[in-house]
């Protein structure tokens, strides 16, 4: 699990989402879980859990992907200490983190993805990244 400094945002794999004692030690208050293949994490009721069943590649519903990015951006803007996790923690987590940071603070998502990759090992699926970029440019209802 790695922090995307200076933000109260950590990225990790599915197993790290289950390490709730470590999450409490880090001050994490919310977990954004992005794996379709994993069951929802069994977290204590003190932690916020947002589960978005995304696949690592093409074929995600745009509305679900948009909701994952916008929810994460809202947590980032509120400076809520958050862990984003997926199966291996190297594709969906960095992609959604970069998109959320772009939405929250502005700037190109590619630049944010580069920044995220400087803090956390990343191997983002090209198809997933295209879907993420597409939801950032599509109009959202007011």
In a domain, 142, yes or no: no
pTM of the model: 0.94
Cβ count near 46 (within 10 Å): 9
pLDDT one-digit tens code per residue, 48-89: 999 999 999 999 999 999 999 999 999 999 999 999 999 999
Structural domain count of the chain: 1
9-27: burial string, b at 16+ Cβ within 10 Å, e else: bbbbbbebbeebeebeeee
In this prediction, residues 21-32 reach a mean pLDDT of 95
Q: What is the Cα gyration radius of the chain?
A: 14
Residue with tokens 């992907």: 65
In a domain, 41, yes or no: yes
Q: Which domain holds residue 44?
A: 2-137
Q: Is the pLDDT of residue 139 over 60?
A: no
- CATH number, domain of 53, equals 3.90.190.10
Q: Is the pLDDT of residue 142 over 70?
A: no
pLDDT one-digit tens code per residue, 97-129: 999 999 999 999 999 999 999 999 999 999 999
């Amino acid at each position: 699990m790695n922090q995307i400094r200076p933000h109260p945002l950590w990225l990790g794999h599915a197993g790290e989402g289950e390490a709730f004692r470590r999450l409490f030690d880090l001050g994490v208050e919310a977990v954004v879980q992005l794996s379709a293949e994993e069951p929802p994490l069994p977290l204590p009721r003190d932690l916020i859990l947002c589960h978005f069943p995304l696949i690592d590649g093409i074929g995600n519903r745009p509305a679900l992907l948009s909701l994952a990015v916008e929810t994460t951006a809202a947590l980032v803007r509120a400076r809520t200490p958050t862990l984003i996790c997926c199966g291996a923690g190297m594709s969906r987590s960095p992609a959604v983190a970069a998109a959320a940071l772009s939405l929250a603070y502005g700037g190109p998502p590619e630049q944010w993805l580069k920044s995220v990759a400087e803090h956390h090992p990343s191997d983002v699926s090209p198809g997933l990244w295209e879907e993420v970029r597409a939801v950032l440019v599509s109009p959202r209802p007011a």
